Amino acid sequence: MATPNIDRLAQEGIVYAHAYTTAGVCAPSRCAIITGNYQTRVGGHNMRTLWNTYPEQTGLPKEYQVVPPTEIKCFPEYLRAAGYYTTNNSKTDYQFVAPPTVWDEVGNEAHWRNRPEGKPFFAIFNFMTTHESQIWQRSNDPLRVDPKTVSVPPYYPDNEIIRQDLARHYSNISRLDEQVGDILKQLEEDGLMDKTIIFSGRITETDCLFTSVKFIVEGYMCRCLSAFLTSDWRAHAIRT
C-alpha cells in the first residue's frame, strides 16, 4: 500500500523510530503531550475522566476533570504568549478542558490561514481516519486493500474477520495519507513549506486489535515519529 505523502515526510525529514509514548492509551498520552509532563504528575493517568468514566464499573462520577498543579501550562500557551497564532483542528480530550489561553482557534474550521498576515503560527490537525472506531464506522466504505492479500501477523488468527479488519485499517491509512497530502499542498500554495517545521506522529488508536491501542506492548508503546525540517534546520541536522 502506497503512502507517498507520509513517506515524503520521512524521506525529507528525520525519523524517530524509537520514540516511546508514556501511556498505553490516547487521552493520557495527549495529557502528557499538551502539558510536557508525565500523566502521573498532573493526575491524568486514568482512562478516562471527561464525558464518561463508566460509573457502573468504576464507582466514579460520570465525568470529572483533572486539575493540574497551578504551575502546569499547556505548551501552546507559551507559544501564544510569544506571539504565535495557535490553532487546533480539532480534538482536545486532554483529561481536562483546556483553558481559553491555549488556542486562538479550536474547532473544525481552525487553520493557520485565519491568522493575521505575517504572524507566526502553531497549528495542529487531528485526523480521525485511523481511529479505532473507523474499523466499524467505515465498514461500508470501499476497500483499497484486498483482504486476501494482507499479511497476517502470527499473533492474530488468520481468518476472514481479521483479514477484513486489517484491510479496512490499511485502507484507512491510505485515506489518511491523502489528508496529509492536502495539508502539504496548502503549505506549498501559501509559500510556507520551507518555512515550517512539521511533526507527524502516530500517537493514538490504530486498529483495536492486539498490540494496538490499550496494550502495554512495544507494538503500541513505541511510536514512529517524523519531523520535516526547513532547509536551515535540515542543513544543521546533516552537519551534526
Can you tell me whether residue 16 is helix, strand or coil?
strand
Amino acid at 149: T
Q: Are 15 and 226 in contact (CB under 8 A)?
A: yes
Can you tell me whether residue 103 is helix, strand or coil?
coil
74 is catalytic: no
Instruction: Fill in the DSSP letter of residue 149.
Output: G
Count, residues in the chain = 240
Residues 6 or more apart from 42 whose CB is under 8 A from it? 31, 35, 66, 68, 69, 72
- The closest of 11, 1, 20, 27 to 201, measured between CA atoms, is 20
Q: What are phi and psi of 223, to 5 degrees?
A: -110, 140
List the catalytic residue out of 26, 74, 208, 222: 26
> Could you give the strand order of the β-sheet that contains 121-125, starting from the edge strand earlier in sequence?
105-106, 85-89, 121-125
Cα 110 to Cα 89: distance, rounded to the nearest angstrom:
5
Task: Name the one residue in this structure whose C-alpha cell is 492536502.
Answer: 182
Q: Which set of grid coordinates corresponds to residue 93?
A: 480530550
Q: Which set of grid coordinates corresponds to residue 82?
A: 510569544
The set of catalytic residues is 26
